[in-house]
Structure 1
Amino acid sequence: SELRSLAYYGYLFAGDEKGATIVSHLYHTIGPKTPSLRRVSWAGAVRNEGQFAQMMQLLTEETEKANPDADARFGTRRDHLVYALCADRDRLKTETLLSILIKEPQFTARDVVMGFTAMVRDFDDCHDGARFIFTVGH
């Protein structure tokens, strides 16, 4: 549910170690199968477990699909992968990915918005994302 998802966001972003462990456990058990928890569990996996490379591989596979799965209420797997990847603590990785999302034709405006949302709205350590987009010549 949305309320449960919000609670996990709170744990993940408040720096609560026990909460981060819960989110990590969700990723390994039910996260990928549950659309309402998928985005936050994948973001937790990227931020806290260094799963950037694995999620990037999943995004590549998802981008190649003709008909991506969609849960209109919670977004597609692709949306959640872009969001999670842009949640990485390493700003260089997130800026590079956002640049790819902007420039490469296989990515859409929706992908850019999901990445921008992760970098700018939800993660304090990536607050320079807006400046990056508007000053690097995109």
Structure 2
Amino acid sequence: MKTLPLRLMPGQDLRATLAGVLAGHGASAGFVLQGIGSLRGARLRLAGAPDATELEGDIEILTLAGSLSPDGPHLHMALADANGRVLGGHVLAGCTIRTTAEILIALLPDHRFARGPDAASGFDELVVHSHDC
């Protein structure tokens, strides 16, 4: 495992930036171990909800975690608004960095991640391949 600390800058889209991390480092598997920072708007898909929930204003990232594959990231995040209300869910495009995001990624050089259909969940789920297989 190789760790990769990142700092995202104001105006960057959180999901889009993390989607490009693997290719930028020649990797095909990774995990976001943790992330903190601030957003100036966010889009989450809440548990079981078909549509996005949009948040506006100053928002703090309390936690960020997920998997990174060449097929795209699968990220979950807990957020707090300016009144301290907390909401969490699946990260969608449209989470724009306000001041910073400090993120620690683990690159897994011995693995390749993919996303494939899962009959039990009905979603594309993580498929783990070992490079020595």
TM-score for both structures, normalised by structure 2 = 0.30
Bigger helix share: 1
Which structure has the higher relative contact order (CA within 8 Å, separation 6+)? 2
Structure exhibiting the larger radius of gyration computed from Cα positions: 2
Bigger strand share: 2
